[in-house]
Amino acid sequence: MTFDSVAFAIFLPLVLLVYYRLGHRAQNVFLLLASYVFYGWWDWRFLGLLWLSTVVDFGCGIALENCSGKKRPLWLLLSVCTNLSILGFFKYFNFFADSLQRACSLFGWEIPPTTLNIILPVGISFYTFQTMSYTIDVYRGQIRACRDFLTFSLYVSYFPQLVAGPIERASALIPQLASPRRPAMRDWYEGSWLIAWGLFKKVAVSNALAPTVDAVFHNPQQTHWWSLLWGLYFFSVQIYCDFSGYSDIARGTSRLLGISLMRNFWHPYFSTGFREFWRRWHISLSQWLRDYLYIPLGGSRGTAWQTVRNLFVTMGLGGLWHGASWQFLAWGVWHGALLGAERLITGDRLPGKGRGWRKIVQAFLVFHAVLVSWLLFRCPTWQHVVQYTLGLFWLQGGEEWVTWFELGRFLVLCGVVALVDAAEEYSGSEYAVVDWPWLVRGLSWGTLAVLCVALGGIHVTAPFIYFQF
């Protein structure tokens, strides 16, 4: 079940209809059952993995709070090893087995390939990181262990953010689940806007760009360089609208339930520095990597070169979190290099504090450095990366996938997204549209609907990109 499906359009109203009629405890029971239905819609067998993470981390959290001395690290180790073992087996077993076989063949050692027909459980990277953060925070003494199994189970499996985040901290979400809640009218206004805007970004923009992006990236050797160039721009907008659109729908759905989730995107392509970019892009993952990997490695407390090393390790592992391939590792290392270079040049001072043309130039350069990284992220193989790069640099001829209609549609849809993002950036509020006069607001919603039907990808079926992670 996906947010842009007919099934979810039926599922959500039914959930809300029952949810509003229940008391607090019954709401949590019902939400837990609804979350299991939502997740089991893909494959009910993976509910066992979700249940295993829930039971192990619930027990480890209580044990961490009840014991002291040398036993505490063992309970934390049990939690971390359980979660990483589940994640490692389902996501990385074939990758490491294939890499080992290839490495041995370089030295003349022939070993038979060992791969398994493993299906990657949807959302596994998100909920394993979320449950690990809980036990680590209990171990550090930053939060108390949750002793209500129902509340903790709902924290792990809460359906709006279960599949693709945001990766919520227990300190933020568990108190909301443990408290009575009744959505106010403002929650309805803001939640409805987030859902509508998220659906526009996903259906009208991301889905509309998906066929052209697929054609360009899967056949770069026979694609005209002009289409290769615009294909990169298309994908940069597609992945932003796809993932931020999902996050908006998740947060909007949660607001209708009276629960607030953290903001996961804040106009990242307006960034004037690479640290700023990662404070605006996939914010929940960036904060997770910072708090549970970068800072424990030493953060910026050592020398400049030690800081750069820590950035490389953190971003490299962050790249592997996205997918089991050397390209994702290279994508993470590329961002680690950008962050490290910025740190060496500017130190602790954040760039982009000026005004006018200088800020525009910085944002332009940052965006295009990120644009290069999407080549590693999107190409299916290293061969495609090389072919794509050579095709651009040698201005090769070939198939024209980006027609003038496709380009015009892209500019219109991208312009709408940029205008709304700019309005939110200027006002400092993501609900700037909600506060507009009713006539302007009505015209805006009508314009989005017309654009979605006239130019959008309502007839295109494209899965959310981050479901594969």
| Least reliable range by pLDDT among 258-267, 275-284, 421-430 | 421-430
Q: Is the pLDDT of residue 53 over 80?
A: yes
Query: CB pairs under 8 A, 24+ apart, for 321-327?
Result: 321/125, 321/129, 321/285, 321/469, 322/125, 322/377, 322/469, 323/468, 323/469, 324/91, 324/92, 324/94, 324/95, 324/96, 325/95, 326/99, 326/382, 327/376, 327/377, 327/379, 327/381, 327/382, 327/385
Split at pLDDT 50, 70, 90, the class of 36 is very high
459 vs 249, residue with greater confidence: 249
Split at pLDDT 50, 70, 90, the class of 332 is very high
Cα 209 to Cα 205: distance, rounded to the nearest angstrom: 6
Q: What is the pLDDT of residues 98-128, one digit of tens each?
A: 665 566 666 666 666 555 566 667 778 888 9
| Least reliable range by pLDDT among 52-61, 108-117, 264-273, 383-392 | 108-117
Q: Is the pLDDT of residue 45 over 90?
A: no
Burial zone of 265 (CB within 10 Å; 0-12 exposed, 13-18 middle, 19+ buried): buried
What mean pLDDT do residues 20-46 have?
90
251 vs 124, residue with greater confidence: 251
Q: Is the pLDDT of residue 43 over 60?
A: yes
Q: What is the pLDDT of residues 209-232, one digit of tens each?
A: 999 999 999 989 988 999 999 999
Q: Take residue 210 and report the two structure tokens written for it.
A: 């998906």
Q: Is the pLDDT of residue 380 over 80?
A: yes
Residue 355, pLDDT score: 64
Q: What is the pLDDT of residues 159-180, one digit of tens each?
A: 999 888 799 999 999 999 999 9
Helix, strand, coil percentages for the chain (3-state, nearest 5): 75, 0, 25
Residue 315, pLDDT score: 93
Q: What is the DSSP letter of 212?
A: H
The rounded mean pLDDT for the chain is 87
CA angle 262, 265, 270 (to 5 degrees): 145
List, by residue number, the catalytic residues. Answer: 322
Cα 433 to Cα 192: distance, rounded to the nearest angstrom: 11
What mean pLDDT do residues 19-45 have?
90
What mean pLDDT do residues 432-449 have?
80
Residue 354, pLDDT score: 57
